[in-house]
Amino acid sequence: MLKTFGLFLLTALAEIVGCYLPYLWLRQGRSAWLLVPAALSLSLFAWLLTLHPTGAGRVYAAYGGVYVAVAILWLWAVDRVVPSATDLIGVGLCLAGMAVIMAGARPGA
pTM value?
Answer: 0.81
More confident residue, 39 or 7: 39
In the chain, what is the greatest distance between 2 CA atoms, to the nearest angstrom?
51
Count the Cβ atoms, other than its own, within 10 Å of residue 39: 13
* Segment 24-83, tens digit of pLDDT: 999 999 999 999 999 999 999 999 988 876 666 777 788 888 899 999 999 999 999 999
Which helix or strand (DSSP H or E) is residue 14 part of?
Answer: helix 2-28
C-beta separation of 52 from 4 below 8 A: yes
Where do the structural domains in the chain lie, given as residue ranges?
2-103
Q: What is the CA radius of gyration of the chain?
A: 15
